[in-house]
Structure 1
Amino acid sequence: MSEEHAWQVAEDPGLTVQRSCEHLGQAREAHQAASAGRRGCTDCLRIGSTWLHLRECLTCGHVGCCDSSPKQHAHAHAHARGGGHDLARSVEPGEDWAWCYADELFLRPAD
């Protein structure tokens, strides 16, 4: 994995002991939101639903909608896969963060 695609847990200034994420090893090189993802949530497009924001699985590149969207497909994808798909990054313009669904932690690009 190239350094530009490495992730680390975002520091939480409210904690004395910072939490860790055991799932960082799942992250693969970013898929750069395949052309279908640029059009929208893969699952919402298939069923004719709407979404608010998009998240890309850092394991397989699946593009789903965020937890604020009616169908929450990114979250469903992470849990339906039986593990191994716990990390997703925002593919919204200007956003550079990811989320671990298993540990409920924000991630940021590694230094």
Structure 2
Amino acid sequence: MALNVGGVNVRAQGAPNGRAPRCQHLSMPLGVEQGAPECAMCLILGLTWARLVVCLTCGWVACSDDSPGGHARAHYQETDHPVVGALETDTAWRWCYVHGRAV
């Protein structure tokens, strides 16, 4: 499919069946040791969190976007560490802040 972008025809680079292309940030070395299962910033500020996530680059544990503090996103904005994962070991859920989607 060709798109007209600013008067220039550009071929759309979508994936088959509407799936998003693989996130290249998953190729980064992972396997870091995670921190304590708590959001240090929430504890300091007296906030409670809805869910905790772990930075897959450095192991920092922080509250997710659905928590009042959103400290995991703040960590990404400060460090450019792109991918977080679920703190629970029974799920493989991961989120890429660069692409704004689960990966």
Structure 1 segments, 4+ long, off by >4 Å, are none
Picking from 49, 53, 76, the partner of 1:51 is: 49
Residue number in structure 2 paired with 1:3: none
Gaps of 5+ in 2: 1-14
**Identity %, equivalent residues:** 36
Question: What residue is the counterpart of 1:87 in the other structure?
Answer: 83
Unaligned runs of 5+ in 1: 1-11
The size of the alignment, in residue pairs, is 89
| Structure with more contact order per residue of length (Cα contacts < 8 Å, sep ≥ 6) | 1
Distance (whole Å) between structure 2 residues aligned to residue 89 and residue 13 of structure 1: 26
SS in 1 for 2:24: coil
Structure 1 position 67, deviation (Å): 0.7
- The RMSD of aligned alpha carbons is 2.2
- Larger C-alpha radius of gyration, 1 or 2? 2
TM-score, scaled relative to structure 1: 0.68
TM-score (norm 2): 0.72
> What does residue 24 of structure 1 align with?
26
Counterpart position of 1:99: 95
